[in-house]
Amino acid sequence: MDELKPLAADLKRWLFEDALPLWASTGVDAATGAFQELIDLDGHVVPAVRRARVQARQVYTYATAGALGWDGPWRETMERGLAYFVAHWRRPDGLFRTKVNADGTPADDTAWVYDQAFALFAFAAVAKAVPERRDELAREASALLDAIEANLTLPIGGFREADPARPYQSNPHMHLFEASLAWEAVTGDARWSRMADSIAALCRKHFLDSRSGALREFFDAEWKPAPGTDGCIVEPGHQLEWAWLMQRWSLLRGDEAGSAAAERLFEIGSVQGVDTVRNVAFNTLDDRLTPQDLSARLWPQTERIKAAIIMARTGSTAWIRSQGQAQAGAGIAGLKQYLDVKTPGLWRDKLQTNGQFIEEPAPASSFYHIICACADVIAAAA
């Protein structure tokens, strides 16, 4: 995709010169190696309770930085962050608690499926980046999967989330899917392939609406749409993120039905889920694919880019491929709106319907999304 070359070069420069150095210095607690949650737009740390998902995501970010060729302290940042995460977030039962205070003491001992998925994902990234640690981390990941299956599995399939209001969700399964594919690529262990296959099957059987092909967010205990408005929520960002993952899985398995489902998700996310005036993927549709919340978080913009690139290269029809090509460039332009801040290397998170961003600190949690998109753009332009 030659048209992406200048865009890729610009993103790579921003990533290597601005974002990675800033988050490896200001964004790290120098005394412990733990990752900070928030940096305000003037470049100062905002104290906050530290979440498991942020620690794991930042470990992944710096492992990916090394793979992309950044010559900064990616390995030290990654290794220290992982060591602190394992030491302070892992519970006696092998699962990871969700929150820890800045002094290293537990703040919330709850084990969320979402957080376990990111722990698995971080382990896979480090195992790929540092091959001599692969066997050790493969054992760690296998033990964590044992704990997940022993404690969080549902009899009807899938996993129960710790959210008391919404325990049956598609989203944590998506990240387990992502982590399973990552471990499959690192080790080829059939256990991870089986996990990925089971989540793909759960998605196609229960998460996808049989009429529209859209992916729902919330369910009841039988994996039927949750009652009320929860069961009607359709997020464009998750249509795109699942499209990217399902297409990858389908290509690995040679599964044409899976690819068709992925392409339909891409269509919903990139057509019904994009506001062409602001050039952004917005927050929510309903199950009739009617826009609901037109505010736009940063992360759906990165999923728009990733899904577009894979569809441009592997889509089964000329329309899907051309839509992928168009959405890739448009998605990068949309994302760059969020990166235009006074302290280079930071970002804004929430674009309002009036076209103005909410003034708030940059969340570290976004970096995982951003570097995933940057990596795909760089690879597509190579």
pLDDT digits (tens, 9 = 90+) for 206-252: 999 999 999 999 999 999 999 999 999 999 999 999 999 999 999 99
216 lies in the same domain as 258: yes
Residues 293 and 215 in one domain: yes
141 plus 174 within the same structural domain: no
Domain with residue 235: its CATH number is 1.50.10.10
Mean pLDDT of the chain: 98
Whether residue 142 is found in the same domain as residue 193? no
Are both 169 and 148 inside the same structural domain?
no
**Same domain membership, residue 217 and residue 144:** no
| Residue 244 token pair | 């990217």
Structural domain of residue 90, as residue ranges? 1-152+340-346
Q: Are residues 131 and 23 in the same domain?
A: yes
Residue 362 domain flag:
no
pLDDT at 1: 85
Number of domains forming the structure of the chain:
2
The reply to whether 14 and 123 lie within a common domain is yes
Instruction: Let me know if residue 252 belongs to a domain.
Output: yes
User: Would you state the pLDDT for residue 90?
Assistant: 98
Same domain, 55 and 188: no
Q: What is the pLDDT of residues 1-54, one digit of tens each?
A: 889 999 999 999 999 999 999 999 999 999 999 999 999 999 999 999 999 999
Please report the pLDDT score of residue 2 as a whole number: 84
95, part of any domain: yes
pTM: 0.98
Q: Are residues 122 and 209 in the same domain?
A: no
> Do 322 and 173 fall within a single domain?
yes
Q: Are 190 and 83 contained in the same domain?
A: no
Q: What is the mean pLDDT of residues 174-190?
A: 98
